[in-house]
Amino acid sequence: MSNRIPRFTHDGVKGADISAHPFATEDGLGLNLTRFHRADCDDVVLLVHGLTLASDMFIMPEHRNLVSYLLDEGFTDVWAVDFRMSNRFPYDMETHRFTLDDCALYDHPAALAELRRHIGDRRVHVIAHCLGSVSFMMSLYGGALDGVTSVIANSVALVPRVPLWSKYKLGYGPALAEYLLGFSFLDPRFGDAPVLTRGWLLSRFLSVFHRECDVRACHLLSFMWGSGRPALYDHHNLDDATHERIADLCGGVGVHYYRHVHKMVEAGRAVKYDPKDGRFTALPDDYLANAADIRTPVLMLGGDRNRVFADSNVVCHRRLEEAAPGLHEFAALPGYGHMDPFLGRDAHADVFPKMVDFIKRKAC
Ligand SMILES: [Zn+2]
């Protein structure tokens, strides 16, 4: 029998009642909240994954994961959302034209509404990663939701900044992928595609430039995200099992999201993708425009080896501090990159305590 870790497993969380809470968005997608419940408590924590990841990033059995850590620290009612960027759903790899505005307008407010149906008016603290963090912050700062007691944003929030190579990729990649190469999405599993198909060829081509390890999905992910070998994490921060199953944790991504990220990078802040699109009139064109009015404290985390969103959160913290002095915090994560603050083998020792410390200070 294989000892491979099964996909979408809940085995990483012990001693909690685990339940699924499906909900729908106004634009007609089915999404899901998963509840990890030991007992009711005053401070509920909601976890928001990044693009191409899923709630699985918080419940990995091969290390001491964030959900277990929070439950043991007294936060005994933890929820994790799977929104349209989740690899538990087919949406990322279907033909679509979703942007982060869709997530901000439709997904996060609907998730909060479903959560409130179960927990009433208890305090809600959000921990979010990557484009889950950007889009959640867009919801909050765009006025699409409120009533959140605190937010922890890893890697990036409302000021996406990327290395120069990533800027080129974001700028030219989507058109190149869609019109020249014929990919509407990029899949870390292209290495397993039939020999000589386009996916197989792309994977073999990329691996020529990635000699840092022998996991082809790791090479593909470095191509999809950031600038580095590898780009998303430092290898020595990951358990071997995590590295080997990285394609289970990070799925395929529709390239259109890159266009919105590129627009934000060019603008130097989170902006609406298409101000003329009538569906999004409820959202601001500039998500920092009303930053002074938002009174939810935000802890921005930034690994000093972040090769995906670089110093985004250092700069975002500065901007938010200018708008609302004394409200927000920044914490550096020495030795960490973009994704290993959650996926890392020692994240429970190096990263999670900073999160819990912040939430405990805001839980009153
Ligand atoms: Zn690797």
User: Does 284 lie in the same domain as 153?
Assistant: yes
User: Does 59 lie in the same domain as 34?
Assistant: yes
User: Does 289 lie in the same domain as 147?
Assistant: yes
171: amino acid identity, one letter = G
Q: How far apart are CA 69 and CA 352, in angstroms?
A: 8
Average pLDDT over residues 16-32: 98
User: Does 153 lie in the same domain as 64?
Assistant: yes
Q: How many domains does the chain have?
A: 2
User: Does 142 lie in the same domain as 90?
Assistant: yes
Nearest Cα neighbor of 246 from 53, 68, 86, 34 is 53
For residue 239, the CA-to-ligand 1 centroid distance in Å is: 11
pLDDT of 170 over the 70 cut: yes
User: Does 106 lie in the same domain as 73?
Assistant: yes
As a whole-number percent, the residues of the chain with pLDDT over 90 amount to 98
For residue 235, the CA-to-ligand 1 centroid distance in Å is: 6
Please report the pLDDT score of residue 364 as a whole number: 78
Q: What is the CATH number of the domain that holds 292?
A: 3.40.50.1820
Q: Tell me if 332 is assigned to some domain.
A: yes
For residue 211, the CA-to-ligand 1 centroid distance in Å is: 9
Segment 297-307, tens digit of pLDDT: 999 999 999 99
Q: Tell me if 263 is assigned to some domain.
A: no
As a whole-number percent, the residues of the chain with pLDDT over 70 amount to 99
pLDDT-based confidence at residue 1 (cuts at 50, 70, 90): very low
Please report the pLDDT score of residue 2 as a whole number: 60
For residue 265, the CA-to-ligand 1 centroid distance in Å is: 27
Mean pLDDT of the chain: 97
Q: Tell me if 206 is assigned to some domain.
A: yes
For residue 190, the CA-to-ligand 1 centroid distance in Å is: 15
User: Does 138 lie in the same domain as 35?
Assistant: yes
Q: Tell me if 3 is assigned to some domain.
A: no
For residue 63, the CA-to-ligand 1 centroid distance in Å is: 18
Q: Length of the chain, please? A: 364
Segment 94-152, tens digit of pLDDT: 999 999 999 999 999 999 999 999 999 999 999 999 999 999 999 999 999 999 999 99
Torsion of CA 212, 217, 218, 219, to 10 degrees: 60
Q: Tell me if 353 is assigned to some domain.
A: yes
Residues 163 and 302: beta-carbon distance below 8 Å? no
For residue 214, the CA-to-ligand 1 centroid distance in Å is: 7
For residue 132, the CA-to-ligand 1 centroid distance in Å is: 23
Segment 58-75, tens digit of pLDDT: 999 999 999 999 999 999
User: Does 114 lie in the same domain as 39?
Assistant: yes
User: Does 212 lie in the same domain as 134?
Assistant: no
Q: Tell me if 85 is assigned to some domain.
A: yes
Q: Tell me if 7 is assigned to some domain.
A: no
Q: How far apart are CA 316 and CA 298, in angstroms?
A: 10
User: Does 200 lie in the same domain as 152?
Assistant: no
User: Does 157 lie in the same domain as 170?
Assistant: no
For residue 213, the CA-to-ligand 1 centroid distance in Å is: 5
Nearest Cα neighbor of 122 from 46, 64, 193 is 46
Average pLDDT over residues 223-244: 96
For residue 31, the CA-to-ligand 1 centroid distance in Å is: 31
Q: Which domain holds residue 345?
A: 17-161+279-362
Q: Tell me if 10 is assigned to some domain.
A: no
Residues 128 and 309: beta-carbon distance below 8 Å? no
Is residue 230 reached through a cis peptide bond, with omega within 30 degrees of 0 on the bond before it?
A: yes
User: Does 27 lie in the same domain as 143?
Assistant: yes
